[in-house]
A and B are shown apart, each in its own frame.
Chain A
C-alpha cells in the first residue's frame, strides 16, 4: 500500500524489468460532466434537478468515508487538473509505461451502477461505455474496457451487453458485488445469458449499493470493516453463483472477482464441498463438487493481496487455488495500489510469475 509518496527514482522495479504485465484493475475516472455528451437532454435536466441517488446516506461520496481523498494515491492527481485516473497521458507516464503494463483492464466506478432509479442507471452506464471508447480505448491499445451495465435491471443490462458484443475493445462485463440480492439469483440471469453469448467474462468489483446491511450482523462502524468486508461479500457472491447453479445453466460463463481478496477461496471451496455432500438433495441442479466448479469458472485479481507472515504461505494458497486462477492487479490510482515490483515478494518459478503477472489474464480475456 502506498500511503506516502515514496521517491523510488533510484529503484529498479524488478518485475517490470523482466516482464510485461497485465493489470486487471485500473480505474479511469469519469466525472458526470465528462459523460454528458452521451446523456440525452431530458436526463441531463433530471440530473440537474434530482441528482443520482443511491441506497446509502450521502448525496455525494461513499457510505464510509475513505482513508484518503478520493481513495487515491496522493501523487495521482494529474497536472491537467482532473481527478486521479482522469488523464490518460498522466496514467501512462505514471503507471502504464514504467510498470510495463501491456494489457490494462479498465473498471470505471461511480458511473451509474446501482443508482436507485433504474432508467437513470441505464442512461449513465451507456454514457460511461461510450466515454471509455472515446477517451481511452480508441487512444491506447494496451487498454481494454468493461461494459458497465445497470445490473439491477437485468433485461436492460443484457441489451447493453448486446450493443458491445463483438467489440474487441471491451474485455468483460462489469458488476459490483454489493447488489440488492446475491448475484447468483435468477433475476440477474439475463446478464449472464448475454455475457456468455458475447463471450465476455463477468467481472465483479468490490463496492455497490444493495441497501441491505453489509454484514450478517448489521452495519459496521469503520472504513476498515467495510474494506475487509469486501472479502465476505465476495465469498457470498461466489457461493451464490455456484450454489444457484449459474454455471450449470451457462457452462461457458467466466467470473472474475475483483478487489475482494483471494486467500479465502480454498476455505470456501472446502466448506461448500462439506455441505454439498450432506445437503445436495436441496440443490439437484448442482452435479459436481462446488470446489470443482469454483476452479473451473472463477478467477481472482490479486490487489489488495493478502500478506501472510511468512509470505511463502501465499504460494501455498495459490497451490490450493490453482496458479491459473490468479490475475495480477494494481488498483491504480487508489491508495492501496499494489506495486508490481513489491506486491508478491515470494518465491515463484518463472512460469508461475508469467502466469500471474501476464498470461492468465490474456487467457481469461482472450487477448492474444
Chain B
C-alpha cells in the first residue's frame, strides 16, 4: 500500500530564507523596506494549534527543514508520499506585484529546500490569488515539474472563489491535470465570518469551517464544475463534518431556486461527491465509532476523504492521526486509493 499524506506544511523560518530565491529588485525591496516576516494571524507562530509542542524546534517553529519533516511527519507515519503546502502570507499582500514575486520565491524555496532533498515529497503551487493572470503565470512556470501536484488557494479570499475572475486559474489547473486545493487561511480582506471579525483566535479557527461552506456554495452556484469538467477541488483542513448538513440545505434551495443558476443541472450532492475531496485532519467528530459511522453514512461516499496529518498543526497527539471508527478497508481507501485517484501526478511515480 502506498501511504499518502495529503496535507503537510513546511514552515518558512523567516522572510530571510526566501531572499536567495528572489530576483534582485524584490530582494532589495524586502531588505530596504524592512519586511522581515510574513507569518499570518491564521497560524500565529506561538499559538498552540499552529504547531504541536513536541514538534517545535528551539526557534519555536516546526517543520522548517527537510530533516525535521522527515523525522516528524514522514518516518513516524510510514509515509510514502506527502504533499507540502506552505502557509506563508504571500497571498495576503495587497500589492499584486509583490504577491506574485514572493509566491515565486516561496515555490522556489519549496522546490530547492524540500522537493530536491527527499523523493517522497510533492508540493502545491502557491499563487498570488489577488490576480488570476499572475496566478496562471505561476502555474505555467511550475507545471512542467511534476513534483508539483496541485494549485493552492486560501479559503478566505477577496472575492468568492467561484467568481468568474478566478476561472483562468481553474482553466490552467485543469489543463495541467492539477487539482485545486482550497486550504484554511485567509487573505484577510474581511473577517472569517459573515458578520465580521472575531475577537479570539479560537473563534476565527472555528469559523473557517463556515468559510469552506460559502466557497463550496460559490463554486457550485457559479457553475465551475460544469465549466471545468475535469477539475477536482480538494478542501484542506476544513473540518469535514459540516458537509452533509450543508449539502442538504443547498440541495433544498436548489430545488426551489435553480432557475437562477440553470447551468447547475445535476443535483449538487452528486456534483460534490464526484468532484470534491476533503483532507482528513481535523476531523470534527465525537470520539465514538457509532457517530463516525453515522457521519460517513451522511457523507454518502467513501471516495471523498484523503488522509492527512496536517503536520505540524496540533490536531492529535502521538501517532493518533486516525480518528475512531475507520475500518481497515476504509483506511486503505483514504490513505492510498483516494489520493492516487485524486492526484494524477502521484500515479506517475507509483506502480
Contact surface of A with B, Cβ cutoff 8 Å: 1, 3, 67, 177-183, 185, 210, 212-225, 227-229, 231-233, 235-237, 239-240, 243-244, 261, 263-264, 266-268, 270-272, 274-276, 278-279, 281-283, 304-308, 313, 316-317, 320, 335-336
Which one of B161, B239, B253 contacts A271 once the chains associate, using CB atoms below 8 Å?
B239
Q: Pick from A227, A233, A278, A305: contact of B194, CB below 8 A.
A: A233
* Residue of B47, B156, B202, B208 most packed against chain A (CB within 10 A): B202
Does B199 count as interface, using CB distance less than 8 angstroms?
yes
Beta-carbon contact of A239 and B207 below 8 Å: yes
Which 4 A-B pairs have CB atoms at the shortest separation, nearest pair first? A263-B245, A215-B214, A236-B193, A216-B211
B254 sits at the interface (CB 8 A) = yes
Are A215 and B194 also in contact (CB < 8 A) when A1-B256, A220-B160, A336-B256 are? yes
Choose among A181, A223, A306 the residue that contacts B248 (Cβ–Cβ < 8 A). A306
Smallest CB separation, B249 vs chain A (Å): 5
CB-based contact B214/A306 at 8 Å: no
- B253, A232: Cβ atoms closer than 8 Å: no
* Contact in complex: A274, B245 (CB < 8 Å): no
A348 to B258, alpha carbons, bound, how many Å? 31
B157: A residues at CB distance < 8 A:
217-218
A223/B257 in contact, CB under 8 A: yes
Contact partner of A306 (CB less than 8 A), chosen from B49, B215, B252, B257, is B252
Q: Which B residues contact A (CB, under 8 angstroms)?
A: 47-49, 155-163, 186, 189-203, 205-211, 213-215, 217-218, 221-222, 239, 241-242, 244-246, 248-258, 260-261, 282, 284-286, 291, 294, 297-298, 314
B342 to chain A, nearest CB (A): 23
A179 and B195 in contact, given A1-B255, A218-B159, A320-B291 (Cβ under 8 angstroms): yes
State whether A243 and B218 are in contact (beta carbons under 8 Å apart), knowing that A67-B256, A316-B294 are contacts in the complex. Answer: no
Give B318 Cβ to nearest chain A Cβ, in Å.
Answer: 15
A148–B43 CA distance with the chains assembled, in angstroms: 40
A336 to B249 CA separation, bound complex (whole angstroms):
12
Query: Residue on B with the closest CB to A260?
Result: B249
Decide: A308 near B190, CB < 8 A? Known: A212-B196, A267-B284, A279-B48. no
Q: How many A-B residue pairs have CB under 8 A?
A: 234
Quote the shortest CB–CB distance from A278 to chain B (angstroms).
Answer: 5
Chain A contacts for B282, CB-based, 8 A: 271, 274
Partner of A217, one of B195, B200, B218, B242: B218
Set B189, B206, B241: member contacting A272, Cβ < 8 A: B206
- Verify A236–B210 contact, CB threshold 8 A: yes
Whole-angstrom distance between the Cβ of A161 and the nearest chain B Cβ: 21
Give CA–CA (A182, B239) in the complex, Å.
Answer: 21
- Tell whether, in the assembled complex, residue A182 and residue B195 are in contact, meaning their CB atoms are under 8 Å apart: yes
Min CB gap B170→A, angstroms = 15
Question: Chain B residues with Cβ under 8 A from A178's Cβ?
Answer: 194-195
Residue in A closest to B48 when the chains form the complex, CB atoms: A278
For the complex with contacts A182-B196, A225-B217, 10 further pairs of A-B residues with Cβ separation under 8 Å are A182-B197, A216-B192, A218-B190, A278-B48, A279-B47, A279-B201, A279-B202, A304-B253, A313-B297, A335-B256
CB pair A267–B239 under 8 Å, yes or no, is: yes
Say how far B333's CB is from chain A's closest CB, in angstroms: 22
**CB-defined A-B contacts under 8 Å, sample of 18:** A181-B197, A217-B156, A217-B160, A221-B222, A222-B261, A224-B253, A227-B253, A227-B257, A229-B214, A233-B195, A240-B195, A261-B245, A267-B239, A267-B241, A267-B245, A270-B285, A272-B202, A307-B252
Q: How many angstroms between the C-alpha atoms of A72 and B260 in the bound complex?
A: 17
Check A216 against B193 for contact (C-beta < 8 Å): yes
